[in-house]
A = this chain, B = another copy of it.
Amino acid sequence: SFTTCTSKALGAYAMTSPSSGVAPRRATVVGLGLIGASVSLALRERDWGVTGVDADTVRANEALSVGAVDALGYDAEADLVVVAVPVSSIAAAVLTALEACPGAVVTDVGSVKGPVVAAMSDGRFVGGHPMAGSEQEGLSGADAALFSGATWVLTPTERTNASAHAAVRQVVASLGADVVELAPERHDELVALVSHVPHLAAATLMGIAASSAEEHATLLRLAAGGFRDMTRIAAGHPGIWPDICAENGDAIVAGLTTFVSALEEIRAVVAAGDRTALLDRLERARAARVNLPARLAAADDLVEMRIPVPDRPGVLAEVTTLASDLDVNIVDLEIAHSAEGDRGVLVIVVDSKAADLMRGALLARAYRPSVAALS
């Protein structure tokens, strides 16, 4: 049920590999979309020899011709197989890989881990999920640097060989990723809470607001910036959600139940007019949100500057050019339109050490920024 690459192709790889004291290692990547091809490129940059497999022969040949892989087919002597196929095909692809590459440790990159991990009894398999993506899709978006600084979850279990786990961990870390180990169910539960449930909640909120304003859609003009932020993800294409909901259904149903219970609690607080309990909940949520891990710096090293601006070409450029001229990195930026007409508020997040510099420059250009710590 699988093909192996020819020794000729592997010979070609061995010849192009730079000489080094450490024997180059060999891998097969199954599924040559964005993530798979990025893994392959990253491994090749680190002197691995990589063969590629894809059910789509056009894509497989393209990967070969652009140099994303050294050869096509399974490498029977591979040390590592990375399975990067769609969630619903992972289990079958892992079983095939375990058979085709009897000396390899096998990992996958699926966004749901419980069902796949539960289906594998072979200790050579280690579940994984790199929290990385790109707006570019497919092979053409592949990038060897995609995983640099990304969180990459591994989900070893008691059945996993310690050596397989250690090997996958080492490879993933070598790609620049930050490894977090979680039980598969814990991973799925957390991803349900921070990704799947929020998506369904955004769509649901948008749906009821639209239904309520049905007879007069312009009533949604009453929706201010907060509503726009909350429902933004509902504008995404829904195609991937049936598979995600099928694979991670249990955790999503549990997450929705938790969310519904918490909403019923806050509804009771509002109905009872309990100001203290309301403030307490909102304060705790605020503290958690401002401490949401930033990628570049701790929240207490960042400040938020809110700058009222007219809505016309050039304003954004002026502010961001100012930051650039001062070598101030804008960590986050959004335009809050509020409900006003042709005006808005530009919100930028910068390092606290740069705050005075930036504020001074803005004041000099007649902006009126307000500055608040993020902690």
Contact = CB atoms under 8 A, between A and B. Distances in A.
A154 interface: no
Interface stretch (A12-20, A23-31, A96-104, A252-260): A252-260
Given A220-B194, A224-B195, A236-B286, A317 B323 contact: yes
B238 A233 contact: no
A222 B151 contact: yes
Interface string A254-283: 001111101110110011010100110111
Interface string A277-321: 011011111101111110110000000001110011110111011
A149 B341 contact: yes
B207 A194 contact: no
Contacts of A278: 238, 241-242, 245
Q: How many of chain A's residues touch chain B, expressed as a range?
A: 35 or more
A44 interface: no
A198 to B, nearest CB: 5
A339 interface: yes
A328 B313 contact: yes
B317 A275 contact: no
A136 B293 contact: no
A186 B145 CA distance: 52
A330 B367 CA distance: 19
A189 B210 contact: no
Given A136-B368, A207-B285, A238-B279, A226 B221 contact: no
A134 interface: yes
Nearest to A225: B233
Contact of A227 (B195, B273, B284): B195
B338 A275 contact: no
A263 B210 CA distance: 15
A234 interface: yes
Given A133-B338, A151-B222, A207-B288, A263 B313 contact: no
A263 B260 contact: yes
A150 interface: yes
A266 B256 contact: yes
User: Which of A145, A199, A220, A296 gathers most chain B CB within 10 Å?
Assistant: A220
Residue in A212, A236, A267, A345 with the greatest tally of chain B CB atoms within 10 Å: A267
A149 B336 CA distance: 16
Contacts of A322: 317
B338 A206 contact: no
A232 interface: yes
Given A132-B339, A190-B212, A296-B342, 7 more contacts: A206-B289, A242-B275, A242-B278, A260-B267, A316-B320, A321-B321, A334-B335
The 8 nearest A-B residue pairs measured at CB: A149-B341, A238-B282, A131-B339, A210-B288, A203-B285, A317-B324, A226-B233, A317-B320
Interface of A: 131-136, 145-151, 153, 176, 178, 180, 182, 187, 189-191, 193-195, 197-210, 212-213, 217-224, 226-239, 241-242, 245-246, 249, 252-253, 256-260, 262-264, 266-267, 270-271, 273, 275, 278-279, 281-286, 288-293, 295-296, 306-308, 311-314, 316-318, 320-325, 327-343, 345, 368, 370, 374
18 contacts: A131-B339, A134-B338, A136-B370, A190-B212, A193-B209, A194-B222, A195-B224, A195-B226, A217-B291, A217-B293, A242-B275, A252-B267, A253-B271, A260-B260, A295-B341, A316-B333, A317-B317, A317-B324
